[in-house]
Structure 1
Amino acid sequence: MFGLKKIAETSEHASSYYAATANWQTNYASLVDDVSADIVIVGGGFTGVNTAVELAERGYDVVLLEANRISWGASGRNGGQIIGGVGHDADRFEKKISCDGVEAIYKMGLEGPEIIRERVAKYQIDCDIKWGYCDVAIKPRHMKQFAQWKQWEQDQGNTNDLRLLEKDELQQYVGAKKYLGGLYNGGNGHLHPLNLCIGEARAAEKMGTRIYEQSRVVGIDQGARPVVRTEQGSVSAKRVVLAGNAYMGDLVPKLAKRVLPSCSSVIATEPLSEEMVKQLLPGDVAVCDPRTALDYFRLSADGRMLFGGLSNYTGLEPKDLVSTLRKKMTMVYPELESVRIDYGWSGHMGIGLNRMPQLGHIGDNISYIQAYSGHGVAPTHIMARITAEMIAGSPTRFDYFSKINHWPFPGGKLLRRPGLAIGMLYFKLLDEL
Structure 2
Amino acid sequence: MARLDLLTANDAPGAYPASWYAETAIGAAPRPALRGAERADVCVIGGGYAGLSAALHLRERGYDVVLIEAQRLGWGASGRNGGQIGSGQRRDQDWLERTAGRDQARMFWNLAEEAKATVRGLIERHAIPCDYRAGVAHAALRPGDVAEARAAAEKLARDYGYADCAPLDRAGIAELLGTDAYQGGDLDMGAGHLHPLNYALGLAGAAEAAGARVYERSRAVSVEAGRVRTAEGEVSAGHILLCCNGYLGDLVPRVAERVMPINNFIIATEPLGPERAAALIPTGVAAADSRFVVNYWRLSADGRMLFGGGESYGYRFPRDIAGLVRPRMLGVYPGLADLRVTHAWGGTLGITASRMPAFQRLPGGIFSAAGFSGHGVAMATLAGKLLAEAVAGTAERFDLFAGLPPPAFPGGAALRWPLLVLAMSWYSLRDRL
Short-chain TM bin: over 0.9
Aligned residues: 427
Structure 1 equivalent of residue 327 of structure 2: 327
How many Å separate the matches in 1 of 2:203 and 2:192? Answer: 18
State yes or no: 1:10 paired with 2:13: yes
Structure 1 equivalent of residue 233 of structure 2: 233
- Aligned Cα RMSD in Å? 2.0
Match runs of 1:336-415 below 5 Å: 336-415=336-415
Any idea what SS the aligned residue of 1:220 has? strand
> Which runs of at least 4 in structure 1 moved beyond 6 Å after TM superposition?
93-96
State yes or no: 1:26 paired with 2:29: yes
Out of 74-83 and 84-93, give the one that drifted further: 84-93
Structure 2 equivalent of residue 156 of structure 1: 159
CA contact (8 A) 2:256 2:413 kept: no
Match runs of 1:223-302 below 5 Å: 226-302=226-302
Following TM superposition, by how much is the alpha carbon of 1:94 offset from its aligned partner in structure 2, in angstroms? Answer: 6.7
Could you give the per-residue CA deviations for residues 133-165 of structure 1, whole angstroms, max 9, x where no partner exists?
Answer: 100122111110111000111123243422112
How many Å separate the matches in 2 of 1:89 and 1:187? Answer: 16
Match runs of 1:193-204 below 5 Å: 193-204=196-207
State yes or no: 1:36 paired with 2:39: yes
CA contact (8 A) 1:136 1:182 kept: yes
How many Å separate the matches in 1 of 2:406 and 2:184? Answer: 36
Out of 158-167 and 347-356, give the one that drifted further: 158-167
CA contact (8 A) 1:51 1:387 kept: yes
Any idea what SS the aligned residue of 1:262 has? strand
CA contact (8 A) 1:86 1:357 kept: no
How many Å separate the matches in 2 of 1:63 and 1:414? Answer: 32
* Cα gap change, 1:137 to 1:269, in 2 (>3 Å): same
Structure 2 equivalent of residue 188 of structure 1: 191
Could you give the per-residue CA deviations for residues 171-210 of structure 1, whole angstroms, max 9, x where no partner exists?
Answer: 4421012122220000111110100110111001111111
CA contact (8 A) 2:49 2:74 kept: yes
Following TM superposition, by how much is the alpha carbon of 1:427 offset from its aligned partner in structure 2, in angstroms? Answer: 2.6
* Cα gap change, 1:108 to 1:263, in 2 (>3 Å): same
How many Å separate the matches in 2 of 1:231 and 1:122? Answer: 36
CA contact (8 A) 2:60 2:210 kept: yes
Following TM superposition, by how much is the alpha carbon of 1:313 offset from its aligned partner in structure 2, in angstroms? Answer: 6.0
Out of 382-391 and 400-409, give the one that drifted further: 400-409
Structure 2 equivalent of residue 169 of structure 1: 172
How many Å separate the matches in 2 of 1:143 and 1:99? Answer: 25
TM-score, length of structure 1 as denominator length: 0.94
Question: Which amino acid is the alignment partner of residue 84 of structure 1?
Answer: S
Structure 2 equivalent of residue 422 of structure 1: 422
TM-score, length of structure 2 as denominator length: 0.94
Could you give the per-residue CA deviations for residues 391-413 of structure 1, whole angstroms, max 9, x where no partner exists?
Answer: 22221111111122333222355
Structure 2 equivalent of residue 138 of structure 1: 141
How many Å separate the matches in 2 of 1:230 and 1:119? Answer: 30
* Cα gap change, 1:25 to 1:389, in 2 (>3 Å): same
How many Å separate the matches in 2 of 1:404 and 1:258? Answer: 12
* Cα gap change, 1:354 to 1:340, in 2 (>3 Å): same
How many Å separate the matches in 1 of 2:178 and 2:405? Answer: 43
How many Å separate the matches in 2 of 1:16 and 1:261? Answer: 20
Structure 1 unaligned blocks of 5 or more: none
CA contact (8 A) 1:358 1:406 kept: yes
Following TM superposition, by how much is the alpha carbon of 1:59 offset from its aligned partner in structure 2, in angstroms? Answer: 1.5
Percentage identity across paired residues of the two chains: 39
Any idea what SS the aligned residue of 1:155 has? helix
Question: Which amino acid is the alignment partner of residue 44 of structure 2?
Answer: I
Following TM superposition, by how much is the alpha carbon of 1:7 offset from its aligned partner in structure 2, in angstroms? Answer: 3.1
How many Å separate the matches in 1 of 2:148 and 2:99? Answer: 27
How many Å separate the matches in 1 of 2:68 and 2:10? Answer: 23
